[in-house]
Structure 1
Amino acid sequence: MSLGTRQNTQGDGLPEGDGGVITAAERIREAVESVIEGKPDVVRIALTVLLAEGHLLIEDIPGVGKTMLAKALGRAIDCSVQRVQFTPDLLPADITGVSVYHQDRRAFEFNPGPVFANIVLGDEINRASPKTQSALLECMEEMQVSVDGETRPLERPFMVVATQNPADMEGTYPLPEAQRDRFMARIAVGYPTPQAELDMIDAHSAESPLDTLRSAATAADVHGMVDRVKTIHVAPGVRRYAVDLVTATRTSSALRLGASPRATIHLVRAARAYAALEGRHYVVPDDLQALAVPVLAHRLLPSPEARMERRAPEQIVSEIVARLPIPNPR
C-alpha cells in the first residue's frame, strides 16, 4: 500500500492532494524489490527508516545481499549517493573531509568527504577501527560535520545505510554502544527462499539488476514525504506504550543495558513512518510492536545469565512485547 493512497469510509486514510510525492514511496519500494527478491518486510523497514529520517544498519553473513540492498535504495532515489568501503586503514578524515593548504593562494581549502551526500553507503562498517567509526557520530545525530574548528551542515535528506558482518567473524571490530544507538533500526536480510533464489539466478545471469534500476523519486520527493510523516498523529496512550516498551528493557533482569531515551524517540518516529506506509494518519500499538525488535534489539546488551542461556536481544524484546499489556490508545 502506497503512502497516502488507502482511504475508507471512516476517514482513516491519509488525505490526498500531494501529487507525485504521495505515490513516491510505492515507486521506491517497487524499484528496490525489483533488485531484492522475496524480502518485502526487509524493504519495508528500510523505507520506514528513510521516511523517519533515521539511519539503517544491515547485519548478516556475507553474500546475502546486504550491499545490494543498500545500493538499490540509493539508486532508487535521484539524489547524491556516496559509498565508503570501511577498511582497517581508513581514517576519520577519509569520511568527513580534510582541509588542504594551497601554496599558491596561501590559503586552506576544504575538500569534503563522502559524508557530504544525501545517502551514504558504509560497506562493512565494522571492519574499520572504532576511531574511524566514531567519525560518523556527529553527522548521524546532528546532521553536521565539524572539521578544523568549523561546522558544516549536511543537506537533507541525509541517511547512513551501513552493512556489517556478524561481530564474531574474523577481521571485525564491534560497533561501540554510542554508534549502535544512532542507528534507528537494524535488519538482517537472511537467506532467500528457494523460489527467490531460482529467480535470482535468472535475473543475474546476463547483468546485475542494479544496472537497469532507474530512480523512482527525487530528493525533493523524499523531503516532502518526511515532512508528511511528521504530521502523523500519536495518541497519548500510544506514546505511553512506547515509553513502557523501552522502560521494560531497562528493568529486565535478562539485560544489563537497556534502551536509551533516543530509542524511544526513534521508535515513535519509525512508527509514524510505518503508519504512513499503511495509509493511516495515526499510529496504533501494532506499529510499535512490529518495530520493537528492529528498533530496540541492537541497542541492548544481554546479562551474563541470558548469554549462558543463549537468549538473543531479539528474543528478549519479543518476550517483552508479548507480556506487556496494550493500553487504551486514546
Structure 2
Amino acid sequence: MPRHSLAEFDALPYPILDVRAPIEFAQGHVPGALSLPLFTDEERARIGTAYKQVSQERAVHMGLEFFGPKMSAMVKQAKKLAPGKEVRLHCWRGGMRSGAVLWLLELAGFKVHLLDKGYKDYRRAVLASFAAPRPWRVLGGLTGSGKTDVLRVLAAAHGQPVLDLEGLAHHKGSAFGAIGQPAQPTQEQFENNLAAALEQLPPDVPVWVEDESRQIGRLTIPLPMFEQMRQAPRYVLQVPREARVAKLAAEYGAENPAELAAAIERLHKRLGGLATQQALAAVEAGDFERMVERVLDYYDKTYTHGLTPRSGEQALTLVPVAGCNPAENAATLLRTVAASGI
C-alpha cells in the first residue's frame, strides 16, 4: 500500500479516483480526477450525525452497512474508470474512506497509490501556491481593446507564457461577461484550476495576464496573487474608440438580445435612467453599435480612473495601436516591451 506525499502523488501518471461524496467532489476536486464516491451525500450526512450524536463506533458500523452492498458495483465502476487497474486514490484526509476503498480495490487486483493526508493536503498546497513570487506582465486597455485576443496571439505565435484568467473563470469580467460562457466553477474549483495552470508556467519568466479587478463574475482572484499582479509592469493598449465599438457590436450582436437587456438592467444605477433606456431601445432595434456607445461611456470612465499609478507599481506603459488586429497589436506590444527593457 504505497502512501505518497503530494509531490510524489502528482508525479504519478495514473488516473485519480476521488472517493469523497458527490457534494464534496462538486465543490472542488483535483483537476482531472474521477469521482468514485464511497458514500452518497445522504449516507455521508447520516454517518456524520451518528459520529457526533452517538459514537465513533456507531458511525463506523453504519459506514460498513452502507459499504457492503455496493462493493461489487464499486469495483466494476473502478474498472471502467481505470482499465489499467493502477490508480491514485484519495479521500478528504487519507483516512477511513480511502483506506476502505484501497482494501477493496487491492482485493480486486488493482495497484493503488494513496495520497497521504488526502485532499485536505492538496488544498493547503493550492492556497500556498498563490503566494509564490513570480514575474508578471499585465496587459490593460479599455473595454473592447481585444486584450484576450492579443494574449492568445502572444501564446500561440510568439511562445509567450500567458495565464487566461477569464478563460479559467468562464467570465469576461463585466456585467456582460457571463453571456455566451459556460457556468462559472465554484470558488474552490477555480482556485484548483488556477493552481494547475500556474504549475504549467515557467516560474522565472514573465507571464502575461490581463488587467483584472479582483472579482471576475462571482469569483475572486486569490489575494497574494492579485497583489503581485497589481505591482507588476502594466502595458495599456490604446485602441481608437470607433474600433472598439465595432468589435463589441459584432461580438454582442451575435448574442441573445434578452441576455443583453438583462445585463443593461443590472447596470441601471451606474448608467443612469436615460442611457439605460437608450441602450435597451438600441438592443430592441438591433442597433448594437448604438447599444455599445451608450454602455461604453461608463466602462471607459471607470477604467480610465483605474489608470492612475498604483502603489508599488513598477511601470505603466501606453501602447498606441491603430485598431483591433490581434496579430499586429501583439507585435507592437512586444516591440514596446523590448524597447522599455522591463
Task: State the TM-score bracket (shorter-chain normalisation).
Answer: under 0.3
Q: TM-score, normalised by structure 2?
A: 0.24
Q: TM-score, normalised by structure 1?
A: 0.24
The structure with the largest helix share of the pair is 2
Name which one, 1 or 2, has greater alpha-carbon Rg: 2
Q: Relative contact order, CA 8 A, sep 6+: which one is greater?
A: 1
